[in-house]
Amino acid sequence: MPRPWDGIEWYARVAQKVDIALQGMHPVRGNNTCMGAALGLALRKVPEQWTRWNPNHGLFVDVDRKYPYVLNNAFLMRADRYIDAVSREDFMGTGADEVPMNRLVTERGLHRCFLSGSFGIHPAYGTHPRNGDMEAVALAEVLAADQRARGCPDDGPDGDGGG
Protein backbone atom coordinates (compact mmCIF):
# COMPACT_ATOMS: atom_id res chain seq x y z
CA MET A 1 0.00 0.00 0.00
CA PRO A 2 1.41 3.41 -0.91
CA ARG A 3 2.56 5.50 2.06
CA PRO A 4 1.53 8.25 2.22
CA TRP A 5 -1.77 7.22 0.63
CA ASP A 6 -1.96 7.83 -3.10
CA GLY A 7 -5.09 6.62 -4.83
CA ILE A 8 -3.62 6.79 -8.32
CA GLU A 9 -0.63 4.70 -7.24
CA TRP A 10 -2.90 2.18 -5.50
CA TYR A 11 -5.08 1.65 -8.58
CA ALA A 12 -2.01 1.42 -10.82
CA ARG A 13 -0.61 -1.37 -8.63
CA VAL A 14 -3.92 -3.20 -8.57
CA ALA A 15 -4.32 -2.95 -12.35
CA GLN A 16 -0.79 -4.25 -12.87
CA LYS A 17 -0.81 -7.11 -10.35
CA VAL A 18 -4.39 -8.35 -9.97
CA ASP A 19 -6.61 -10.03 -12.55
CA ILE A 20 -9.82 -8.06 -13.12
CA ALA A 21 -11.93 -10.92 -11.76
CA LEU A 22 -10.21 -10.58 -8.38
CA GLN A 23 -9.86 -6.79 -8.14
CA GLY A 24 -12.88 -6.55 -5.84
CA MET A 25 -11.48 -9.09 -3.40
CA HIS A 26 -9.93 -6.69 -0.95
CA PRO A 27 -9.43 -7.22 2.80
CA VAL A 28 -12.74 -5.67 3.87
CA ARG A 29 -14.70 -8.01 1.63
CA GLY A 30 -13.19 -11.04 3.33
CA ASN A 31 -13.61 -9.88 6.93
CA ASN A 32 -17.11 -9.69 8.42
CA THR A 33 -15.91 -7.84 11.53
CA CYS A 34 -14.21 -5.22 9.38
CA MET A 35 -17.37 -4.81 7.26
CA GLY A 36 -19.44 -4.17 10.38
CA ALA A 37 -16.92 -1.70 11.77
CA ALA A 38 -16.68 0.16 8.45
CA LEU A 39 -20.46 0.44 8.26
CA GLY A 40 -20.65 1.71 11.83
CA LEU A 41 -18.05 4.40 11.12
CA ALA A 42 -19.77 5.44 7.89
CA LEU A 43 -23.21 5.64 9.53
CA ARG A 44 -21.87 8.14 12.07
CA LYS A 45 -21.10 10.47 9.16
CA VAL A 46 -24.53 10.22 7.51
CA PRO A 47 -26.19 13.12 9.40
CA GLU A 48 -23.48 15.60 8.47
CA GLN A 49 -22.49 14.32 5.03
CA TRP A 50 -25.42 12.70 3.24
CA THR A 51 -27.40 15.80 2.29
CA ARG A 52 -24.53 18.28 2.21
CA TRP A 53 -23.56 19.62 -1.18
CA ASN A 54 -19.83 19.95 -1.32
CA PRO A 55 -18.49 22.73 -3.57
CA ASN A 56 -15.89 20.33 -4.94
CA HIS A 57 -18.52 17.93 -6.33
CA GLY A 58 -17.99 17.44 -9.99
CA LEU A 59 -18.03 14.80 -12.66
CA PHE A 60 -14.60 13.23 -13.06
CA VAL A 61 -14.14 11.33 -16.32
CA ASP A 62 -11.19 8.95 -16.18
CA VAL A 63 -9.99 9.58 -19.73
CA ASP A 64 -6.51 8.29 -18.87
CA ARG A 65 -7.95 5.08 -17.37
CA LYS A 66 -6.05 5.48 -14.11
CA TYR A 67 -8.84 3.76 -12.18
CA PRO A 68 -9.04 0.20 -13.56
CA TYR A 69 -12.32 -0.84 -11.96
CA VAL A 70 -15.39 0.41 -10.15
CA LEU A 71 -16.75 -1.10 -6.95
CA ASN A 72 -19.10 -0.23 -4.16
CA ASN A 73 -21.84 2.32 -4.04
CA ALA A 74 -23.78 3.00 -7.20
CA PHE A 75 -23.42 2.46 -10.89
CA LEU A 76 -24.99 4.45 -13.67
CA MET A 77 -24.89 2.64 -16.96
CA ARG A 78 -27.09 2.51 -20.03
CA ALA A 79 -29.59 -0.35 -19.74
CA ASP A 80 -28.42 -2.03 -22.94
CA ARG A 81 -24.83 -2.10 -21.68
CA TYR A 82 -25.88 -3.45 -18.29
CA ILE A 83 -27.87 -6.21 -20.01
CA ASP A 84 -24.79 -7.04 -22.09
CA ALA A 85 -22.65 -7.15 -18.94
CA VAL A 86 -24.89 -9.40 -16.87
CA SER A 87 -25.73 -11.63 -19.84
CA ARG A 88 -22.11 -12.74 -20.08
CA GLU A 89 -21.45 -16.43 -19.51
CA ASP A 90 -18.71 -15.58 -17.01
CA PHE A 91 -21.33 -13.76 -14.88
CA MET A 92 -24.21 -16.19 -14.91
CA GLY A 93 -24.92 -17.50 -11.44
CA THR A 94 -22.34 -15.40 -9.59
CA GLY A 95 -24.70 -12.64 -8.44
CA ALA A 96 -21.83 -10.13 -8.48
CA ASP A 97 -22.28 -7.65 -11.32
CA GLU A 98 -19.11 -5.66 -10.63
CA VAL A 99 -16.77 -8.01 -12.51
CA PRO A 100 -18.79 -8.28 -15.74
CA MET A 101 -19.50 -4.53 -15.71
CA ASN A 102 -15.82 -3.74 -15.34
CA ARG A 103 -14.87 -6.24 -18.03
CA LEU A 104 -17.40 -4.74 -20.44
CA VAL A 105 -16.15 -1.20 -19.79
CA THR A 106 -12.54 -2.29 -20.31
CA GLU A 107 -13.20 -4.41 -23.39
CA ARG A 108 -15.19 -1.65 -25.09
CA GLY A 109 -12.68 1.06 -24.20
CA LEU A 110 -15.30 3.04 -22.30
CA HIS A 111 -14.48 5.60 -19.64
CA ARG A 112 -15.39 5.33 -15.98
CA CYS A 113 -16.89 8.44 -14.43
CA PHE A 114 -16.96 9.40 -10.78
CA LEU A 115 -18.59 12.09 -8.68
CA SER A 116 -15.69 13.78 -6.94
CA GLY A 117 -15.97 14.80 -3.31
CA SER A 118 -18.94 12.52 -2.78
CA PHE A 119 -19.96 10.46 0.23
CA GLY A 120 -21.44 7.01 -0.24
CA ILE A 121 -22.06 3.89 1.79
CA HIS A 122 -21.58 0.29 0.78
CA PRO A 123 -23.27 -1.45 3.73
CA ALA A 124 -21.95 -4.99 3.23
CA TYR A 125 -20.94 -7.49 0.62
CA GLY A 126 -23.22 -10.38 -0.19
CA THR A 127 -20.70 -12.62 1.55
CA HIS A 128 -21.68 -11.19 4.96
CA PRO A 129 -24.31 -13.35 6.69
CA ARG A 130 -26.25 -10.23 7.77
CA ASN A 131 -25.84 -8.18 4.60
CA GLY A 132 -29.60 -7.69 4.23
CA ASP A 133 -29.90 -6.35 7.77
CA MET A 134 -26.90 -4.07 7.25
CA GLU A 135 -28.37 -2.69 4.03
CA ALA A 136 -31.70 -2.06 5.79
CA VAL A 137 -29.98 -0.16 8.62
CA ALA A 138 -27.99 1.96 6.16
CA LEU A 139 -31.08 2.74 4.11
CA ALA A 140 -33.03 3.73 7.22
CA GLU A 141 -30.23 6.10 8.31
CA VAL A 142 -30.00 7.70 4.88
CA LEU A 143 -33.77 8.14 4.58
CA ALA A 144 -33.94 9.63 8.10
CA ALA A 145 -31.17 12.11 7.22
CA ASP A 146 -33.03 13.06 4.07
CA GLN A 147 -36.27 13.57 6.00
CA ARG A 148 -34.50 15.76 8.58
CA ALA A 149 -32.91 17.83 5.83
CA ARG A 150 -36.35 18.42 4.32
CA GLY A 151 -37.79 19.39 7.71
CA CYS A 152 -40.11 16.39 7.81
CA PRO A 153 -40.98 14.65 11.09
CA ASP A 154 -39.27 11.37 11.82
CA ASP A 155 -41.80 8.58 11.40
CA GLY A 156 -40.64 6.26 14.14
CA PRO A 157 -41.63 2.64 14.46
CA ASP A 158 -45.13 3.59 15.64
CA GLY A 159 -45.66 5.98 12.71
CA ASP A 160 -46.71 8.90 14.90
CA GLY A 161 -43.86 11.20 13.96
CA GLY A 162 -42.41 10.86 17.44
CA GLY A 163 -39.23 9.03 16.54
- pLDDT tens digit sequence for 38-89: 899 999 999 988 888 777 778 888 888 887 777 655 667 888 988 888 888 8
* Average pLDDT of span 21-50: 82
How far, in Å, are 17, 55, 69 from residue 130 at the CA level? 31, 36, 26
- Which of 49-58, 115-124, 140-149 has the highest average model confidence (pLDDT)? 140-149
Average pLDDT, rounded, for the chain: 79
Q: Among candidates 70, 51, 20, which has minimal Cα distance to 151?
A: 51
Collapsed DSSP state (helix, strand, coil) of residue 49: helix
Better pLDDT: 103 or 3: 103
pLDDT for 19: 73
Residue 31's pLDDT band, with cuts at 50, 70 and 90, is: confident
pLDDT for 130: 92
Better pLDDT: 73 or 1: 1
pLDDT for 126: 77
What predicted TM-score, i.e. pTM, was given to this entire model?
0.63
Collapsed DSSP state (helix, strand, coil) of residue 31: coil
